[in-house]
Structure 1
Amino acid sequence: MSQKQQVLDHLKNLRIEYKLLDHPAVFTIEEMDQLKITEHGAVCKNLFLRDAKGKRHFLVVIDKDKQADLKSIREQLGCTRLSFASDERLQHYLQLQKGAVTPLGVINDSDAAVEIVLDSSLEGKEQLGFHPNDNTATVWISFADLLKFIRTNGNTIHFIEM
């Protein structure tokens, strides 16, 4: 079964309503803009980070139009210096490839080791767009349902101001 189908089945099992938009593979927000995917709702940037010792891993989810200030994120999380995690770490923890990073990847994090960091400005949004672990589609769900999806897996959730 494909990663995409696993996510869609999990959404259905959790009784989470979603809309699915299939599209050509995209790797950047700019490519999503060009295909007008971003006109359907709030698309998010998803950054996979690690702390200085590589002991903690974070998936930071912010609005596509915001800049990620790693120093501010570090201060709000109370952790050591942050940097982007390697493709190998991304594969190890979330079984995802670069370009398909998404908080829906927690479905592959059986140890709930990755901490999810959500920009509080996303709270209450009804249409957030994420890849369903495959960058040839975008799934639209509400912020409340995103929380439900993450909490069901047991990952720690942090809220920050960006």
Structure 2
Amino acid sequence: MADLAALSISFEAHEHPAVFTVDESRDLKAHIPGEHTKNLFLKDAGGDFWLVTVPAEIRVDLKALPQAIGCKRVSFGKAEDMERLIGISPGSVTPLAMINAEPGSITVVIDRGLAEAGRVNVHPLRNTATIGLSGADTLRLLEHWGHDALVAPIPTKDEE
């Protein structure tokens, strides 16, 4: 919150019961305007870690993702790596957790549509609240913490 104030970033905060999945957050989304997100904590075949933030409702094509973001084959990272690198446990993952990460330890990827959105909703390091801020301000925060986010169109799977 101090960094938001220091950078004069306007935001709107909402307190709510804990949500751990996109499904659990559906009711909240109806009452909180803006783009809602989900976050994938990934590890590539080369051992590098990635935090990918995408619109909540899309299904990411994990086979096509490496080519889109410039990495090797990816799989989901382990909870202990997530906690060690970004200080967050599963269910609370957010690009704002990069405040806890050493620059260069994780590559942050933000979906292009979210980066351009007027309002993006993310957790403020806990899954009992949501903060809405612009995509541009999200990128500015990440840069302030030493992380140059990759903005990319994220490949999706068609609904089956």
Provide the TM-score with structure 1 as the length reference.
0.89
Identify unmatched segments of 5+ residues in structure 2. 155-160
1:64 is matched with which residue? 56
2:37 is matched with which residue? 44
CA distance in 2: counterparts of 1:154 and 1:37, whole angstroms: 34
Q: What do the CA deviations read for 1:4-44 (whole angstroms, capped 9, x no partner)? A: xxxx2221122111100000111011111123456421111
Contact 1:114-1:156 within 8 A present in 2 as well: no
1:151 equivalenced with 2:143 (yes/no): yes
Q: Select 1:22's aligned residue among 15, 23, 28.
A: 15
Report the structure, 1 or 2, having the larger helix content. 1
Give the aligned CA root-mean-square deviation in angstroms: 1.5
SS of aligned partner of 1:147: helix
Contact 1:32-1:38 within 8 A present in 2 as well: no
1:82 equivalenced with 2:74 (yes/no): yes
Percent identity, please. 34
1:108 equivalenced with 2:100 (yes/no): yes
CA distance in 1: counterparts of 2:84 and 2:66, whole angstroms: 23
SS of aligned partner of 1:70: coil
CA distance in 2: counterparts of 1:126 and 1:66, whole angstroms: 19
Closer/same/farther in 2, CA of residues 38 and 88 from structure 1, 3 Å limit: farther
CA distance in 1: counterparts of 2:46 and 2:6, whole angstroms: 37
Provide the TM-score with structure 2 as the length reference.
0.90
SS of aligned partner of 2:89: coil
Identify unmatched segments of 5+ residues in structure 1. 1-7
